[in-house]
Structure 1
Amino acid sequence: MAKRTKKVGPAGRFQARYGVRARTRVRNVEIVQRMKHLCPSCGHQKVKRISTSIWQCMKCGTKFAGGAYHPRTESGQNIEKMLKGETGTLDIVTEVEKTPEEAVENK
């Protein structure tokens, strides 16, 4: 038999329903969701989705919360960077704490 789901992969179960664009979006989400991801603890590519937003490493057993379809969301990565001090957000915070008169004097 010929392969029937060349364009839409796992979304081929919907057959001709719902339109190509919707099936393609479902395909992209499901492929990323079902693949193995890197573990933040041990670094192995063994993280699997247990349920919505809950991920578990099959090697070290670490369970952690993440995004619904990705173990690490963009906003979560930005917050991790801020906590590590890798971005310049601390400079912005200090400027906000200044009074308006001090801000005008410094400019």
Structure 2
Amino acid sequence: MANRKQSAKGRVVGSSGRFGPRYGRFIRKRVNQIEQLTNARHVCPRCDQATVKREGTGIWACRKCGFKFAGGSYVPETPAMRVAVRSIERSLQREG
């Protein structure tokens, strides 16, 4: 038998590793997914560059053009906001 070091099993915990064994696997997994999504670079609605970062809860700012806007807590554009924008665009097309 070779004297090999055993590798770790399972998934890498990522940012939720700071919780250790507390709170349960699924909550830690959900926290990890939300933090990855929140900390990712998002596309600016004004300049179309992937430079939008979260400044606070629901506050997003583009680092390139300086555009600051309100959005969701974890993502700048929520599914409900997409539906609202789509319905506004449709109503504007009907008028014009």
Specify every segment of 5 or more residues in structure 1 that has no aligned partner in the other structure, as ranges.
91-107
Specify every segment of 5 or more residues in structure 2 that has no aligned partner in the other structure, as ranges.
1-6
Match of 1:49 among 54, 60, 66: 54
Higher relative contact order (CA 8 A, sep 6+): 2
- The structure whose Rg is larger is 1
Higher helix share: 1
Tell me, in whole angstroms, the C-alpha distance in 1 between the residues paired with 2:68 and 2:23. Answer: 35
Q: CA RMSD in A?
A: 2.0
1:97 aligns to what? none
Amino acid in the other structure paired with 2:41: K
Deviation at 1:8, TM superposition (A): 2.3
**Secondary structure of 1:40's aligned partner:** coil
2:44 aligns to what? 39
TM-score (norm 1): 0.74
Match of 2:65 among 52, 60, 63: 60
**Secondary structure of 1:85's aligned partner:** helix
**Secondary structure of 2:81's aligned partner:** helix
Deviation at 1:58, TM superposition (A): 0.3
